[in-house]
Structure 1
Amino acid sequence: MPSSSVHRLALVLGDQLSFDLPSLQALDPTTDAVLLAEVAAETDYVPHHPQKIALIFSAMRHFAKALRQRGYCVHYVSLEDPDNSGSLPGELQRWSERLTAREVHVTECGEWRLEQALKSSGLPIHWHADTRFLCRRDEFAAWAAGKRQLRMEFFYRQMRQRSGLLMNGDGMPVGGAWNFDAENRQTLPAGVSAPSPQRFVHDAITQEVLALVGRRFAHHYGSLEAFDYPVTHAEAEALWQHFVEQSLPAFGDYQDAMATGQPFLFHARISAALNIGLLDLRRLCADVEAAYWAGRVPLNAAEGFIRQLIGWREYVRGIYWLHMPEYAGLNAFGNTRALPEFYWTGQTRMKCMSQAIGQTLEYAYAHHIQRLMVTGNFALLAGIAPQQVCDWYLAVYLDAFDWVELPNTLGMVMHADGGYLGSKPYCASGQYIKRMSDYCRSCAYKVTESTGEQACPFNALYWHFLMRHRDRLGGNHRLAMVYKNLDRQPEAKQQALWARGQALLARLDAGEAL
């Protein structure tokens, strides 16, 4: 049955579920309409974790309900709608024609792939800048102009000055330093457990979505059983308040710590809710700053959390939009090795890897150190093709969207941009994991050994990585001491490390789990 015509039609994407979204603000609810659509093209360009699909579909359905309660005319296309074209450009075309919309409005996408698809659709789209971020794309480009390398620290300082967060009246940072990262690397003491995570009851909408995802995406990596994430603004707010009250005070000290059987520790678990629009960046920062000024949290916790939001998060988004699509194809080390199968199963004797991958399988979650210094570090040392690593991160994590995942993985984890994003590779031996976790205590391998069958694979692979890339990395001033330590080792030891690394890589090439 034909629908009545509208003046404006706004397409709202699954990661744009904010009531103050610019394209929504352009509408008059009495004459205009909103379109949300679940489409196959957005579920399978990588094999997204079922919990990620469930989160977005359930949040979209709840958001559509909330918009209707606010007086908006909402057209919602479910995944199993027989008329579903299967793509967002297709649905926008279909509904703009069906409603004879005179204007089509879209807020900037989070993924270059999708934005280009919409721009290539032939529709006369009115594009809106995404004001949910502090730094617009053009503002970041202006800051980056003329710089050979972009360093997050300097960008972060500018964002602090611009926002006024944790600043004194004289323009200097509270506490006399711009960051307190050195205070945020404590190992979790024995016997210390994090607060129990906030739990949510599945309503009828979420139950219906979980049944749909269970039917359609059972072949995707990951389980739906532990799905327990906020799907409404109210639930996201409850999760946030739980973090501020229960975990933020200890977040700074233990944000880099890892512990067996404790996947969440003192982390907020709000990144997915923030990335899809259920929480507001400015409000989160204001709450953290207020908690510091009220004496409820220490400065290292408040500054560390704010730095992740207005520093790193805004910085990687800026780099993404500044250099796409060329950035996605960078491969400075020329890596070609395939991603090992155990990344998809967690079946490995390496305890740190099995813990990080296992909890990813169960919760679609791992915190930043598990991603950077465990699964990412291994992929870097083993020379895995960066595009395969990026696709894996995009697929398996609940909060992964291309704008935030790609620079983090390709640039920071894999150093595939040649040092544009980070001044040195984040490579480490098993000693780092031993220092920051209890994983090594119950591992099948011995972290104290570098050669031999029982030696921790990270140890030999670390030195093997440095040896094989000495031409590129030998002149890096941040690695000068590391290479001096390598050169001090007897020739026989260096040869043994090389041989052990070669043997481990040969096992990977043969498809064997380590």
Structure 2
Amino acid sequence: MPQYDEIRILLGDQLNAKHSWFQEKQDGCLYVLAELHQEAQYTKHHVQKICAFFDAMNHFAQALQKAGHECLYLNLDDTEPYKNLVHLIESLIEKYNAKVFSYQLPDEYRLRDQLADLQIEGCKVLAYSTEHFYLDESEFGQYFHKDKHNRMESFYRKMRKRYSVLMDGDTPLGGDWNYDKKNRNTLKKSDLEAIPEPLVFANDVSDILKRLERHNIKTFGNAHQLLLWPTTRQQARKLLKHFCESCLPRFGQFQDAMTKASQHKWSLYHSRLSFALNAKILSPKEVISTAIKAFEQNDNIDIAQIEGFVRQIIGWREFVRGIYWTHEDYREKNYFNAKRELPSYFWTGETKMRCLSEAITQSLDYAYAHHIQRLMITGNFCLLTEIDPDQVDDWYLGIYVDAIEWVEMPNTRGMSQFADGGIIATKPYAASANYVHKMSDYCQDCEYSHKEKHSENACPLNSLYWRFIAHNEEKLSQNHRMNMIYSVWNKKAQEEKELILNKAAGVLRNIESL
């Protein structure tokens, strides 16, 4: 049996080919990638999510071997005897008589805590950076403050200045920092045909599906033997190129838009690079530099389009990571004390509410929904109906192919559910049917009327919205961004208030029947 001086473990979201580990071949070093039962089962995952990570890991192991590195890939069959990650590591060190064990710092508390407690007699344990993000963790204290509101826009501007991204000297390129007001267009019928077909792949994951079934791994969502997500660096770069050429010219303009008329163009102008980014197949710096180069070389891409995309990565993505690591107790936050169960149609999409049905069904079909579908459709509904944020977290963490806790939790518990009481957002992102009607065509043939507030066929969002406002007046009325809303509510006649609140009470009693 071969002996190795050092064993280096690579987790499923540490597939960074540019990492310094791989720049030179290390004699006596064994890289290990493993399909772990604990990772497939710590929450109930969308089947495409597990397939994407396992397939990407397998391809990465093959790439390491091709580059001359010693690499061991263990599938679910191989890892079945091990109760968890630590048990596997201890067994490998003993088996190969390794004197050094190295790992890259995991990006979530759960795994980091496991590895931090690792102590193996006679073996030195070393931890390394993943070398992926813009900000090093040691710098978080300069940008984030625990249990206080942290303004993303301020953070974003600091990042732009520090890394000279879309800058003209000390001023932002184009004269403005943010073009969000230009990026809230809705899709008209004349716009639909221009939406590009999404670039998808055909990665054969039939063996992975068989292993999941053989090991009784509980999943949900629609499985496909040919996985559409990019699981190699070559595919990810191809998707980045497609985005820059076909989607970026209109990305910002329609980044908040939603439509039911694009079943075959379901990703609209979005990049769908988040899985490749979060698995570290692509780096944020590479993505941003490629997109900016396309902007500089293509007159069809204006500043509002590129700025909106850059803000999502160098701004929002880095921002929520800082929030996550600055607040160890984030998972415990429940500002509104929400306790209701998540309705069963979140697992099927079978609801008469067209907006919910569209967003959930798309998520089940593709393990994907864009940020406004997540925030203002499923998230808004959960906020207004007071769903337990633990259950909302679990659903978002499981259903989306790009969901890893460091990025999912601040977006869900903070931005979407305001369960953090304002650490991320300055106000709850609550909305009535008016917003959905404005930003989508979901309301056009829905069984409910987006105009009605308390009639029999009134959209549930309307009464739920005003109930949320009334029910949380003590906590929200002093928020200056809520002044106008409370002014509108307080001017309503008492009779209308009662009709609205009674309607909302009925909606909540019959939430499973919506």
TM-score relative to the length of structure 1: 0.95
Alignment-derived partner of residue 4 in structure 1? 2
Q: Decide which of 427, 431, 436 is 1:424's aligned counterpart.
A: 427
Cα distance in 1 for residues equivalent to 2:80 and 2:186: 54
Instruction: Give the counterpart letter for 2:51 in structure 1.
Output: A
SS of match in other structure, 1:398: coil
Q: 2:111 matched to 1:107?
A: no
For residues 223 and 446 of structure 1, the distance between their equivalents in structure 2, rounded to whole angstroms, comes to: 30
Alpha-carbon distance in structure 2 between the residues aligned to 1:350 and 1:83:
42
Tell me how far apart the structure 1 counterparts of residues 168 and 200 of structure 2 sit (CA, whole Å).
Answer: 38
Identity of aligned residues (%): 39
The answer to which of 232-241 and 221-230 deviates more is 221-230
AA aligned opposite 1:160: R
Q: Report the equivalent of 1:300.
A: 304
1:439 match: secondary structure: coil
SS in structure 2 of the partner of residue 211 of structure 1: helix
Structure 1 residues 146, 259: closer, same or farther in 2, change over 3 A? closer
Residues 23, 107 of structure 1: 8 Å contact kept:
no
Q: Please say if residues 360 and 396 of structure 1, whose CA atoms lie closer than 8 Å, have aligned partners that are also in contact.
A: yes
- Tell me if 1:18 matches 2:16: yes
How far is 1:394 from its partner?
A: 0.1
Aligned to 2:208: 209
After superposition, the C-alpha distances for 1:269-293 in whole angstroms (9 at most, x for unaligned) are 1101111022121111011111222
Q: Distance in 1 between matches of 2:276 and 2:261?
A: 24
Flag structure 2 segments of 5+ consecutive residues without an equivalent: none
Partner Cα distance (1:440, 1:139) in 2: 45
1:455 aligns with 2:458: yes
| Aligned position for 1:98 | 95
CA RMSD of aligned residues (A): 1.6
Q: Distance in 2 between matches of 1:24 and 1:293?
A: 32
Displacement of 1:215 in angstroms is: 4.9
1: CA distance, partners of 2:445 / 2:319: 38
Task: Tell me if structure 2 keeps the 8 A contact 1:8–1:102.
Answer: yes
Q: Does residue 383 of structure 1 match 2:386?
A: yes
The one-letter amino acid of 1:196's match is E
Change (3 A) 1:147 1:403: closer
In structure 2, C-alpha distance between the alignment counterparts of 1:184 and 1:337, rounded to whole Å: 34
The one-character-per-residue Cα deviations of 1:417-448 (angstroms, maximum 9, x if unpaired) are 11011110000001000000000001010001
The CA distance in 1 between the partners of 2:308 and 2:354, in whole Å, is 28
In the aligned structure 2, how far is the partner of 1:380 from the partner of 1:125?
Answer: 44
Deviations 1:434-463 (A, max 9, x none): 000000001010001010220001110000
In 1, Cα distance between equivalents of 2:246 and 2:137? 35
Q: Is 2:182 the counterpart of 1:183? A: yes
Of 347, 351, 362, which residue of structure 2 is paired with 1:348? 351
DSSP 3-state at the match of 1:370: helix
Shift of 1:136: 1.2
CA, structure 1 residues 218+97, in 2 after alignment: closer, same or farther (shift >3 Å)? closer
1:37–1:175 Cα change, 3 Å: same
2:255 maps to what in 1?
255
Q: 1:52 to 1:383 in 2, by over 3 A?
A: same
Structure-1 residue corresponding to 2:360: 357
Q: Deviations over 1:101-150 (max 9, x none)?
A: 21111111121111101212324531112320001112112322588321
Quote how far apart the aligned CAs of 1:412 are: 0.3
What is residue 200 of structure 1 aligned with on the other side?
A: 201
Contact 1:249–1:296 (Cα < 8 Å) also in 2? yes
- Which of 494, 497, 508 is the equivalent residue of 1:494? 497
CA contact (8 A) 2:14 2:130 kept: no
SS in 1 for 2:32: strand
Q: Which runs of 5+ in 1 are unaligned?
A: none
CA distance in 2, matches of 1:137, 1:465: 37
Match of 2:47 in 1: 50
2:56 aligned counterpart, secondary structure? helix
Hey, what's the Cα distance between the residues in 2 that align with 1:217 and 1:253? 44
Q: In the superposition, relative to structure 1, how do residues 428 and 346 fare at CA in structure 2: closer, same or farther (>3 Å)?
A: same
Per-residue CA deviation, residues 272-328 of structure 1 (Å, 9 max, x unaligned), is 11110221211110111112222341111100101000100000001101112x111
Is contact 2:76-2:215 (8 Å) kept? no
Counterpart AA for 1:149? H
User: Relative to structure 1, is the Cα distance of residues 400 and 271 closer, same or farther in structure 2, using a 3 angstrom cutoff?
Assistant: same
Q: CA deviation at 1:211?
A: 3.5
Match of 1:34 in 2: 31
**Aligned-residue offset at 1:24:** 4.6
Give 1:85's aligned residue: 82
Which residue of structure 2 aligns with residue 128 of structure 1? 128
Letter in 2 for 1:187: T
Q: Which residue of 2 aligns with 1:142?
A: 142
Corresponding letter in the other structure for 2:354:
K
One-letter amino acid of the structure 2 residue matched with residue 162 of structure 1: R
Number of the residue aligned with 1:278: 281
Contact 1:243 1:267 in 2 (8 A): yes
Bigger Cα displacement from structure 2, 27-36 vs 365-374: 27-36
Rounded Cα–Cα distance in structure 1 between residues aligned with 2:114 and 2:278? 21
What's the secondary structure of 2:103's corresponding residue?
Answer: strand
Tell me how far apart the structure 1 counterparts of residues 175 and 413 of structure 2 sit (CA, whole Å). 33
Secondary structure at the counterpart of residue 442 of structure 1: coil
Q: 1:221: which partner in 2? A: 220
Number of the residue aligned with 1:403: 406
Name the CA distance, whole Å, in 2 between partners of 1:495 and 1:82: 59
